[in-house]
Amino acid sequence: MILNFSDIKFVGVGIHRDVEKLMKFYNLRVTNCVELGPWAAQQMKRNELRNAGLKELAKEVLGLLIDKPKRVTVSRWDAAQLTTDQIHYASVDAYLSFEDW
């Protein structure tokens, strides 16, 4: 299963919480995860980035200002069909996680 390939990394902010949910609710095991905050802190030698969210990391690492509306953050991500705002939000998260890494 792709979630366990050793040459594929899963990166993000709060990635370990997501991995725990996948295991708990769907019995899917994910290996090779990288939490972006600690990684950025180590790479940039800036310990204050250790617990930074993706919005702050985008600004500090990539020089990008992004909008992450709270109403989308706390929306129903388990809905059968995501809204256009949710798809946009998830796409931005995925792109930034890829670019940061």
The mean predicted confidence, pLDDT, of the chain is 89
Q: Give 76-92 pLDDT, tens digit per residue.
A: 999 999 999 999 999 98
Q: Which residues span the domain enclosing 56?
A: 2-100
- The DSSP H or E segment spanning 56 is helix 54-57
Which tokens in the block code for residue 81? 């069909």
Q: What is the CATH number of the domain that holds 7?
A: 3.30.420.10
Which structure tokens are listed for 10? Answer: 């899963």
The tens digit of pLDDT for each residue in 31-70 reads: 889 999 999 999 999 999 999 998 999 999 888 898 889 9
pLDDT tens, residue by residue, 60-71: 988 889 888 999
Q: What is the pTM of this model?
A: 0.73
**What single DSSP character describes residue 61?**
I
Distance separating alpha carbons of residues 51 and 57, to the nearest angstrom: 10
**The two three-digit tokens of residue 2, written as one number:** 């792709």
Q: How many domains does the chain have?
A: 1
Per DSSP, the residues of 5-26 read -TT--EEESSHHHHHHHHHHHH
Beta strands in the chain, from DSSP E residues, in sequence order = 10-12, 33-35
